[in-house]
Amino acid sequence: MPSEDESKGPLIEVTPNGPVKISNLVNFFNSRGERIPAAQTLWLCRCGGSQNKPFCDGQHTKIGFSGEKAKDRIKDKWHKFAGKKIIVHDNRGICSHSGVCTRNLSSVFNTGARPWINADGADVDAIIDVVKRCPSGALRYSLEREEYKDFARQPAIAIEKNGPLNVTGGIEFRDDQGNKPGSEEHYSLCRCGASKNKPFCDGTHSAIKFTDEKN
């Protein structure tokens, strides 16, 4: 018979100024899509300094890592971009700047244009497909007055190359500051230690050239 902990679903717990504790995770993948063996409890680095990434090796205590949000971070605010058939919702405050939207559907998502989202720039199915691929939860969409932000996927964590932990499948999330992801079903957790929106990724890993060659 499984223990009580083993029978529960996966859980993410952000520890104060320390690592991310992952319990009961089955699906854990590196950036190449290869499965990483997952124990009942994993401690994953979020200070950026571990020599054993993605796992914590205690460096956060040596470098004085702080898990606090920066006061000058981009604040959470949702904006609506309405087209004839679909409304796209965007929150720059929780974006991880993965580039999934701009690389794959530039006719709709173009940071060089104003407004930067043109909800009439492609057919509805193409827009929905890209919104669903947004790892951070910064994009949502509405059809006929119904808003869609959570999607049906298996619980999993995938490491983005030289970037965050991308969570999908509605893994329960807890932290000591009461933070909540933009979507309970999918969100991106900072690994570089420099995000202004900790524990979530804000894309700073690119600016500081964070690397994790192994994963």
Main-chain dihedrals φ then ψ at residue 158, nearest 5 degrees: -120, 135
Record the tokens describing residue 154, joined without a space: 């298996």
pLDDT one-digit tens code per residue, 139-184: 999 999 999 999 999 999 999 999 999 999 999 999 988 899 999 9
What beta strand segments (E) does 45-202 contain? 78-82, 87-91, 139-143, 146-148, 156-159, 165-168, 172-175, 187-189
Architecture of the domain made up of 78-148: 2-Layer Sandwich (3.30)
> What value does the mean pLDDT take over residues 54-78?
96
> What value does the mean pLDDT take over residues 191-209?
98
Residue 2 confidence (pLDDT): 41
pLDDT one-digit tens code per residue, 115-144: 999 999 999 999 999 999 999 999 999 999
Residue 7 confidence (pLDDT): 53
* Element spanning 20, H or E: strand 20-23
pLDDT band at 57 (very low <50, low <70, confident <90, very high): very high
**Domain segments of the chain: what residues?**
78-148
pLDDT one-digit tens code per residue, 70-123: 999 999 999 999 999 999 999 999 999 999 999 999 999 999 999 999 999 999
Question: Could you count the other beta carbons within 10 Å of the beta carbon of residue 17?
Answer: 16
Residue 1 confidence (pLDDT): 36
